[in-house]
């Protein structure tokens, strides 16, 4: 009697789970985890392209201004005129077909064209990555709710992809307060003073900001990840708030903005109009992020309060 060979059972490949980033873990599907991780990767690549493009544009403008005679000893008005002249040169070169002669007043046209070709290439990559992010964002469970928000998701879900790119899976946040902190919309208390992280950063120049070591304490209650103030994340929140303030119409977020601005103008008339506006935008964004967090967890079938 010959022994029959039995095939070994194939080993099940473990499904990679994303880091909870120090937040309370929540049940999620592997597909959602991979989708969020893919959006995060695309968002980082797109931001790298944006930063590179802006640096090239600024460097090109600076070189042209220097060739036109700019120096730091000029008055503020004179410096501003050089910026205007440099922008005019860039615009002229950009719209002039290759091979057509340029005016003699254009300094080093070869250099300008070379820099503009690099800027255009980065812009193409930036737009392509943005389209990929929009396509993936439409597959998120919360996409249907996001499209109903007036002023945000009617034509593109890029802003939703940017939020996911900065925060990851929102199911991993145990409450909207954690999401506010992540997006730079929550205050931090030190030595009895409660201020927004951006204010602490601005006061650093006055010698009254947070010590460098204390920035690492701007973390969640588990103390596993630094989630303190980040210019990039705050910029995403600001842009969302700007769209809601201008295009939400008679929706709840525009109403929140109007009510908050009227109230702070009444309680703090000594504040400037700019400060009234920033405070109202902050509360508008916080309300939206709270609703987004709730809608995400409902769509992902995670219990929320």
Model confidence pTM above 0.95: no
Q: Is 34 helix (H, G, I), strand (E, B) or coil?
A: helix
CA distances from 162 to 148, 177, 179, 258, 271 (A): 18, 19, 14, 26, 32
Q: Is 226 helix (H, G, I), strand (E, B) or coil?
A: strand
The bridge status of strand 193-195 relative to strand 188-190 is: antiparallel
- Please give the pLDDT value at position 234: 86
Q: What is the DSSP letter of 219?
A: B
Band of pLDDT at residue 29, cut at 50, 70 and 90: very low
Across the range 15-36, mean pLDDT stands at 54
Q: Which of 102, 104, 76, 75 is nearest to 91 (CA)?
A: 102
Q: Which helix (H) or strand (E) element contains residue 188?
A: strand 188-190
Please name every residue paired with 248 in a beta bridge, in sequence order, or none if there are none: none
Across the range 165-186, mean pLDDT stands at 89
Rounded-to-integer distance, Cα 184 and Cα 7, Å: 55
- Domain boundaries in the chain? 28-139, 142-305
pLDDT above 90 for 155: no
Band of pLDDT at residue 102, cut at 50, 70 and 90: confident
Band of pLDDT at residue 19, cut at 50, 70 and 90: very low
Tell me the average pLDDT of the chain.
82
Across the range 108-126, mean pLDDT stands at 93
CB 281 within 8 A of CB 259: no
Band of pLDDT at residue 258, cut at 50, 70 and 90: very high
Q: Is 246 helix (H, G, I), strand (E, B) or coil?
A: helix
CB 171 within 8 A of CB 28: yes
Band of pLDDT at residue 265, cut at 50, 70 and 90: very high
pLDDT above 80 for 128: yes
- pLDDT > 90: percent of the chain: 52
**Alpha-carbon radius of gyration of the chain:** 25
Rounded-to-integer distance, Cα 165 and Cα 33, Å: 12
Residue count of the chain = 305
- Please give the pLDDT value at position 213: 57
């Amino acid at each position: 009697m010959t022994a029959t060979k039995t095939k070994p059972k194939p080993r099940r490949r473990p499904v990679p789970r994303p880091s909870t980033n120090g937040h309370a873990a929540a049940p999620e599907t592997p597909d959602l985890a991979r989708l969020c991780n893919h959006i995060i990767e695309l968002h980082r690549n797109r931001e790298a392209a944006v930063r590179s493009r802006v640096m090239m544009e600024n460097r090109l403008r600076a070189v042209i201004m220097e060739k036109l005679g700019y120096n730091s000893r000029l008055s503020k008005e004179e410096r501003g005129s050089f910026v205007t002249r440099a922008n005019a040169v860039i615009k002229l070169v950009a719209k002039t077909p290759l091979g057509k002669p340029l005016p003699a007043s254009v300094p080093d046209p070869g250099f300008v064209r070379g820099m503009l070709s690099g800027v255009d290439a980065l812009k193409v990559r930036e737009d392509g990555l943005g389209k990929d992010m929009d396509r993936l964002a439409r597959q998120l469970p919360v996409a249907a709710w996001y499209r109903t928000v007036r002023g945000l998701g009617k034509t593109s879900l890029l802003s939703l992809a940017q939020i996911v790119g900065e925060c990851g899976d929102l199911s991993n946040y145990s409450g909207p307060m954690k999401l506010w902190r992540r997006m730079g919309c929550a205050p931090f208390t030190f030595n009895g003073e409660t201020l927004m992280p951006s204010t602490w950063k601005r006061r650093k120049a006055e010698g009254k900001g947070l010590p460098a070591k204390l920035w690492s304490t701007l973390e969640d209650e588990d103390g596993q990840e630094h989630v303190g103030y980040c210019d990039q994340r705050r910029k995403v929140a600001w842009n969302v708030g700007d769209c809601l303030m201008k295009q939400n119409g008679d929706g709840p977020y525009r109403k929140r903005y109007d009510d908050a601005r009227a109230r702070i103008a009444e309680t703090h008339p000594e504040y400037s109009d700019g400060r009234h506006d920033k405070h109202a935008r902050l509360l508008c964004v916080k309300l939206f992020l709270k609703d987004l967090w709730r809608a995400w967890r409902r769509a992902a079938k995670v219990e929320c309060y």
